[in-house]
A and B are shown apart, each in its own frame.
Chain A
């Protein structure tokens, strides 16, 4: 791809004999917001560190703007990083922390002062220049870290779970702010998180990883609506995942019932995973329903109620704005386009 700014090809990495990355292919466009999403230990941070130059891959190539940069040290790469715990320099004040990269680059004094002040204004920290970084709150330290990275006008900003240490409200605020900064400055963001909601909120592209492999690459909507396998479906939002059979195109069955669906291209009677989102299950009277069960629990979640419905072969998770009484017999139905059929254990990059 000609328009990719960063390209990873065949990247694999072992730590002490343990494989942490296995044949990673990834292409990131200029000005794209890409999120590497996965549980801890899935290799997302290692991938980020390989792009930053802090780790070198055992095999594979890293390209930046078409040039191979495997052997380029971190200080010579046009990327800047926001570290998990900010890594602010404790011996420098806010101004000197932000100015660090510009000092190293030997920019003139007045330019440094102007750019640092500009950047501190952007992250709402004007007037904090002389403050000691240890005296700042977590959110303020986070902003200093952002300013320190962005002041150097990097082509790419790497963010390693940058909001992990903040409380929920602040995290939401910073999500919006980070996205606004990314759009305003037109910088490519590669963002690592284990928080699926964060990934869906901010990203142009989400890369779901598990056990050192890329599971799926797609837009937030695409990944949510068309998860490629049970892992992705389970990790992104809540799901009912049940074993099923693809009888023929547009027809699948599970738990002995046949359903109309929208998927094609499977072999006849292929065993598959069926994913149904809890909000896609509708409660109807049990008489004519394809699935029946008994309401087992009801939990109020703020916007909706989350209920479990026990049927003979599976306990279904259902979300609805209308609660049912525990113990009621109910029926469940699902629209054909809300039945997601997935190949068993499939993932992208699997061909290698």
Chain B
């Protein structure tokens, strides 16, 4: 009896040991999502893949860049890494596995048709699919607080004159009309790209590629519009001294400011679940009706602005990983219908066309309508958010702040950007 018990225990131990050792651990690092959100994906994936264990490590963005750099250079790093389109993916692509052969084998040769090209194009570098867009985001929306607008009998501005008029009314009622954390370059880029695409769609990307000078008259018109936003009282006077998150965003969510320029990554503010968390965090008692509207028509051509964007977070496989197969299994699941459905349920925009945004959790019917319009806006988006050349980004960031502060004229600012552009090694 005692001997049988020992044998049974040994068998249980061995089974447990071998099943544990047969489980492959895939390390996933990123700056986004947070741990709680990541766990949703991990739980769902591990439930259907008991042989793979996912270890997620979340970093602050700048810490992530430093840690990733050191680890990859020394032959380490995670199996799956979160990436941002533009500069980051361009710099890190030598460490990334080409996903094309994996995808062709798993999904067939037409697999690319399933992805929004807006996302996939920006992670494809010289024909190499360096990552998969996990979820997309596009900038170009002026988000407004409809509750505040309704109280004052206002409607979303569709032209620049209307925008100025709405701003004046809000100001008369002691409400900051529009808020922007212009301390942060990224939000200034978003606004300037939107303005440039409003004047001459796509020209800013030609300038980035060195095909058009930054002093081009259309880009100058966009820079004058940028200056106008400050001169005409749309932008708050202290915009350059505040951050977009948390300062500007929180002021808008709390109803202190009526409008803000963000993208569809802000969709969560229309979700009952997410909004309750925000209300609790910021002690907001009222349930505001937040809605997005396209950038007002700035140049009088009768057409409002367009969205522009790409992958919010892309996921790639470290080509030095010893768990590439398991990493691929997880990555392919993340862009599968099951993985993308979780994305859509949080009102983030899926990277594949077969999964739609899930509007079941929105607070107001108008928000469901706004969400329904988004795929169309995404399909007709004009280009990307992330510029490719870091030195050009820095020069443009400085130029925008200098024009905003009145230190330089729009012409001088664009001349300085053009000087840097000419020195870029493309």
| A and B pair up | no
